[in-house]
Structure 1
Amino acid sequence: MNNKWALRTQLNEIGWLAVLFAVVGSTVALRYMTGLPGTQWWQYLYVFGAAAGVFFIGHFLLQLLLVLPLSRLSSCGGRGMAFGLTFILLVSLVTDTFVYQQYRFHINWAMVDLALVGGREVFSFSTGMMIKIAFLVVCLAFVSMLLVWASTKVTTKAVLPCVGILVGYLVVNAVSAYSVSQNVKSVTVLAERIPLYYPIRANTFLSKFGLVAAGEEKLSLSQKVGSFHYPLNELSLGKGTDLNVLILAIDSLRADVVDAKTMPNLTKLQNQALVFQEHYSAGNATRAGVFGLFYGLPPFYWQSALSTNVSSSMVTGFQKAGYEITAFATATLLRPEFYATVFSSVRPLRMGSDSGETVAERDLDSVDDFEKWLEQRDTNKKFMSFMFLDSVHSLDFPEDLDVPYDDYWLEVDRLKLSPDFDPREYFNRYKNAAYWQDVLIGRVLKILEKNDRLKDTIVIVTSDHGEEFNDSKLNYWGYNGNFSDAQIKIPLVISWPGMPAQQINHRTTAYDVGATLLKRVVAVQNPLEDFSVGKDLFDPKGREVFFVGSYNEDAIVAGDDVLLIKMSGALEGHSLKDWKEIDAAPLKKWVPAYLQMRGKYRQ
């Protein structure tokens, strides 16, 4: 009898804790609505009800699995486990709301893996921000203790509130199912904002009653089964040139910050070089941008390249031509896994900078290592080098640097970012970091000059993606959030020995860089489509559309418009300039080409 009573008491505590967590968690989840234009009160109610159901079910089941068995042995142990579970889930939820507000995706394994392996090279926090995070964590620990304590003090049965939450969840799902059948976007757009929420669909059932409107088109994005067939044919080389190649990429560098005040050395180089005014990355994140640059393929082929360890066409072509391939990256090549993809055929391989406490110091280490290598290398071999600097991405520069912008954010505190936040000082800090990168660009050029290599080295300065400072006024900050100009338009400056300075105004893409180098420098005889979706940089035609990607979405850029392709296969139209939503219908004519491209390099 006592055992039955104890079990009922424990289940009642579990039920009440799940209810309380659902209420608190759903209130926190209203933060996911930030940045959604034209929100109405009922949308907040929908999100609250959907989140409450998800959080209640998840928390209740986890307690049955983890807390109840321990509670049968020790009530203190069970409550300790309940606290730990509640605390971890609350911290994860609050963190996810911040991530979603700035990047429009939820925490996923790829992001966690990047943080665990990339560490300080990928994520950096100021002292002030760390203090705020610590304070927030303490507050969440207190809230978690309060919830556990409250669940033990409630004497009434938890059945009624539990049933109430579940009924509300069913109602929300019914509303969602009907809204999907009628293409009510003001409802369907909410589902992706709630983590782990997968509402039911009932189109088949509702169609029996004539309640299904003309369906919103969704794509089936299941990949074609088969191996990575890349290049389509083995690269064949003719007689190439004697030119070396140095690709100097600045992580997160926007196209519009290259000016005489912010980047004087690069501006000076522009006066003697080829400047591509309308250049675009292959994506809005590092993995996508670097992959497109070296492979000449859209980012949706990343997993195929990683699983097969097939090296990039650019590296393969230059190796076949007898070039020495080197990489001088500041951040580790372990994440993203460039060591196993882009440079999988290059060994030994410098894996990143390990000297320096700050990103600015580690960038300097990359340049120092390049200088040492250049002075000691076998001068009888041509080289193709990739230098990848990280200070702009980390908003870092030396404390004693005489920066061009005095009114800058002294400490980056991303917790302050919101739709109404004034980005001026934040952007000034970004530009000061770009100035530091420009100092290093100047030093690299002097190193080449000192070693008499400027005369026979193609120097390419570019980036992997841009960086947004709420340019769209839709609360997008950073990168990997959308495919607007702010996030995918990047600089491309090429100093090519023997070519006169020129401004090139037609659109070009990162895919074109490798295509041009392989054709013009090492004389690859294959047709371009064997190894790239790019064109010759100097060909003004053939880029009416191009494909871009991120860690979890693809898009088709067509003129000044973008067709966004979500993980679910849903399609949205947006403006390339400011990411305002537009009619997707005229852009759907490019979908067959996209689907064909997804299978072209798979057998």
Structure 2
Amino acid sequence: MVSSGNNYKDKVSQLISWGHWFSFFNIIAAMLLGSRYIAHSEWPASLIGQFYLLLSWVGHFGFLVFGFYILILFPASFLIPSQRLMRLFAVLVATTGLTALLLDTHAYETLELHLSPLVWDLLLSGERTELNARWQYLFITVPIVFLLQLVLSEWLWRKLRKLTRKHVGVPIATVFGICFISSHLMYIWADANLYRPITAQRSNFPLSYPMTAKTFMEKHGLLDREEYAERLNAQGVETSEQLRYPLQTMTFDDPGVGKNLLVVVIDGLRSDMVEAETMPYLSAFATQNMQFENHYSSSNENTAGIFGLFYGLPSSYINSARSSNIKPLLVSTLEKRGYQFGLFGGDNLSQDPIYTDAIFNGLALEEMASTDQDAETVDNWASWLKSEKTTAPWFSYIELSSVQNFEEGGDYSPTFEPSLGSKNVSGQNTNLILKNSYRNAAHFIDEQLIRIFDHLVNQQLMDDTIVIITANHGTEFNETGSNSWGANSNYSQYQLKVPLVIHWPGSVSSVSSKLTSHLDIAPTLMESLLNTTTPATAYSSGNSLFSNSTKRRWILSGNEKDIVMIQPKSTTVIDKYGNYTVYDQDYQRLDSAKPKLSTLMQAMHEMKRFYKID
């Protein structure tokens, strides 16, 4: 029994020693494959960034392979009694791991994504995509990898005693350990100081999760969160990719139709508020003009929603537009045509960088009249309109914020009760109170719209003015049952679906149920107001609202982190790592649903199409 016990102990000891050396050589193999990530990624601009790259390359793949050894092969050394069977098992594990790494490098080079549910579905879907067409050739290498692993396994077993005598295991482990720990410590420093040559490498390698310590540093007074957020936003602009916008030289048939243009954006107004009880005037106005009932904002938050409205581009390009100081083609073309500008709204208009650094960049500040009260905003606009004596056409932008700020109340009488500020609301349904307060604000805005159109009618401008009424995003009152309130918390229709009513002189009233987007407004105006002959694909991700093209299958929304693909019966959300979730029309998750993957590829391509190619 003692002999048997010693024999088992010796076998396990030999297998563990062999496993260490087997893992070491697979670390080297993984590092060699990992060099493909380095070749395809942005090369660090500083010596410190390059030094970090070297440390993380050695430390990460050393930790990754050794981690799989600890989790799989080390326990198996005690459970599999036969050394031949154990070595075969190790060869199969190593072959699987290196094959997965090879596939991951291919996905990274093709899509700039690591293996994820989206990538796997692309690989296994059977659809004819670039990734799908080429990945199968990679499996030709699988038998080669397997044979090489068998040779390595046998060679190490024969040389095990000789290798053991060298006593180099501890120094090698120490090198990998130092590289791993040092790379994480360097990343903690880089993250706190927003040192981009290091932080830009965060997602270069698969299963890479560099350590940060912001909470610890903030607790000990080493980091100011607000100041950090400001620096992070500024860096996102400074380091963004350069826009190629438009993709070709713009051409025009003539100077355009010369109509005035008024755009009214109601902050936070969802589409179902345009009905006879809540907004009777806008509802009646919509029936007399063009109404788009299935219209979606380009985002569920203000900045990205406004960006999509003016640029006709997805929100992934926001920082690039800001860093390049590129105005929307719509605005720059209106300037060139001699349009007079009148810009009116709350503090958001003069403080939000999307206006000051991008959309209205370079316009005289005195043209931006700001106030916190929407009634006063309309008064300021009316005074400007009355004093506008030139014969040149004008462009006016009005942003109304009472709906978004409904919880703060306002100088208007409540129409729907109970609401915030009402007496005896205790015991009432909170959702009902909030919804009524929201409707009260929308009703007040409806009255301001009456005033706006009265001024246009009184000055006989209706026949010479294109009017667009819409919103930057919607507002939810937990209709999805996911504890979502307000905006910027999910991509349901309550937060994305907004009204779009257009008065276009000479057009007949109509109601359109086709799928439309904020990205469609810029090409509509460029084609039908300014008469460009350049195709919309050269400067926008949208189509003209007046286009007779075939029914579209999807439209884009989202923000800087997520791509949202809206289809007639579903909404697909894709994060920056390639993970996706499909929801139905009521924004309930569909666990078994999968979108058409070639369509997903088209959407992802659209998010990068306007970047400059080096």
TM-score by length of 1: 0.60
Distance 2:455 2:409 in 1: 21
How far off is 1:561 after superposition?
A: 1.4
| Residue pair 2:240, 2:319 contacting (<8 A) in 1 also | no
Distance 1:300 1:209 in 2: 34
Tell me the equivalent position of 1:321. 337
Tell me the equivalent position of 2:250. 235
**Paired residue for 2:355, among 338, 341, 350?**
338
The one-character-per-residue Cα deviations of 1:203-255 (angstroms, maximum 9, x if unpaired) are: x9895599999963357999998521111123323221131110111001000
Amino acid at match of 1:600: R
Distance 1:482 1:588 in 2: 22
Change in Cα spacing, 1:371 to 1:473, as seen in structure 2 (3 Å) is same
Amino acid at match of 1:514: A
The one-character-per-residue Cα deviations of 1:553-581 (angstroms, maximum 9, x if unpaired) are: 22122332122122443221122432434
Tell me the equivalent position of 2:441. 433
Distance 1:284 1:529 in 2: 24
Distance 2:592 2:394 in 1: 48
Distance 2:498 2:368 in 1: 25
How far off is 1:352 after superposition?
A: 5.3
Give the match's secondary structure for 2:545: coil
1:311 matched to 2:327? The reply is yes
| Residue pair 1:254, 1:489 contacting (<8 A) in 2 also | yes
Amino acid at match of 1:405: F
Distance 1:580 1:551 in 2: 22
Distance 2:241 2:431 in 1: 47
Matches of residues 174-189 of structure 1 in structure 2 within 5 Å? none
Change in Cα spacing, 1:312 to 1:447, as seen in structure 2 (3 Å) is same
Distance 2:287 2:511 in 1: 9
Distance 1:233 1:544 in 2: 26
How far off is 1:518 after superposition?
A: 1.1
The one-character-per-residue Cα deviations of 1:34-67 (angstroms, maximum 9, x if unpaired) are: xxxxxxxxxxxxxxxxxxxxxxxxxxxxxxxxxx
Change in Cα spacing, 1:406 to 1:547, as seen in structure 2 (3 Å) is same
Give the match's secondary structure for 2:338: coil
Distance 2:590 2:533 in 1: 43
Q: More deviation in 438-447 or 574-583? A: 574-583
1:217 matched to 2:117? The reply is yes
Distance 1:440 1:372 in 2: 15
1:524 matched to 2:535? The reply is no
Change in Cα spacing, 1:542 to 1:339, as seen in structure 2 (3 Å) is farther
Give the match's secondary structure for 2:257: coil
Amino acid at match of 2:249: E
1:449 matched to 2:457? The reply is yes
Distance 2:315 2:534 in 1: 22
Change in Cα spacing, 1:530 to 1:345, as seen in structure 2 (3 Å) is farther
**Paired residue for 1:296, among 288, 312, 326?**
312
Paired residue total: 392
TM-score by length of 2: 0.59
Distance 1:561 1:336 in 2: 33
The one-character-per-residue Cα deviations of 1:434-459 (angstroms, maximum 9, x if unpaired) are: 01111111111111112221121111
**Paired residue for 1:593, among 584, 595, 602?**
602
Distance 1:221 1:490 in 2: 35
RMSD: 3.3
Change in Cα spacing, 1:570 to 1:260, as seen in structure 2 (3 Å) is same
The one-character-per-residue Cα deviations of 1:306-359 (angstroms, maximum 9, x if unpaired) are: 1111001211222222212332122323224311111124334544524xxxx4
Give the match's secondary structure for 1:459: strand
Change in Cα spacing, 1:221 to 1:549, as seen in structure 2 (3 Å) is farther
Q: More deviation in 306-315 or 575-584? A: 575-584
**Paired residue for 1:555, among 564, 567, 577?**
564
| Residue pair 2:116, 2:578 contacting (<8 A) in 1 also | no
Distance 1:471 1:499 in 2: 36
| Residue pair 2:556, 2:563 contacting (<8 A) in 1 also | yes
Matches of residues 382-397 of structure 1 in structure 2 within 5 Å? 382-395=393-406
How far off is 1:470 after superposition?
A: 0.5
| Residue pair 2:369, 2:380 contacting (<8 A) in 1 also | no
Change in Cα spacing, 1:569 to 1:270, as seen in structure 2 (3 Å) is same
Matches of residues 54-453 of structure 1 in structure 2 within 5 Å? 208=97, 216-217=116-117, 226-239=241-254, 240-333=256-349, 334-348=351-365, 350-351=367-368, 353-354=370-371, 359=372, 362-395=373-406, 401-410=412-421, 422-453=430-461
**Residue ranges of structure 2 left out of the alignment (5+ in a row):** 1-66, 72-92, 105-114, 120-201, 205-235
Tell me the equivalent position of 1:465. 473
Identical-residue share of aligned pairs (%):
28
Tell me the equivalent position of 2:510. 502
Give the match's secondary structure for 1:548: strand
Amino acid at match of 1:410: G
Change in Cα spacing, 1:211 to 1:513, as seen in structure 2 (3 Å) is closer
Distance 1:408 1:456 in 2: 40
Distance 1:332 1:209 in 2: 52
Give the match's secondary structure for 1:585: coil
**Residue ranges of structure 1 left out of the alignment (5+ in a row):** 1-173, 179-203
How far off is 1:268 after superposition?
A: 2.1
Give the match's secondary structure for 2:117: coil
How far off is 1:589 after superposition?
A: 2.7
How far off is 1:397 after superposition?
A: 7.8
How far off is 1:538 after superposition?
A: 2.5
| Residue pair 2:488, 2:495 contacting (<8 A) in 1 also | yes
